């Protein structure tokens, strides 16, 4: 998350009108959905893409 947060902080800084940035992080077979703001973030619990592919789609 550190690298992702750094890149999204640059995105929020460079794009003057942007207030939030959604992201998808895939680590192996796990996926995390995260929404970043200038001062906070909210993230889902991970879920396995291979166990529940219908949730992913």
Handedness of CA 35, 36, 39, 41 (dihedral sign): positive
CA distances from 8 to 27, 31, 39, 48, 54 (A): 18, 18, 12, 24, 28
Helix (H) or strand (E) holding 47: strand 47-48
What's residue 57's pLDDT?
A: 72
CA 31, CA 43: separation in Å to the nearest integer? 11
Q: How confident is the model over 1-57, as pLDDT tens digits? A: 677 777 777 777 777 777 888 888 888 988 888 888 877 878 888 888 888 788 767
The tokens describing 21, both together, are: 């940035």
């Amino acid at each position: 998350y550190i690298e992702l947060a750094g890149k999204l902080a640059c995105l929020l800084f460079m794009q003057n009108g942007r207030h939030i940035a959604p992201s998808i992080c895939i680590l192996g077979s796990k996926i995390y959905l995260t929404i970043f703001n200038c001062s906070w973030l909210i993230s889902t619990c991970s879920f396995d893409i291979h166990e529940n592919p219908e949730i992913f789609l």
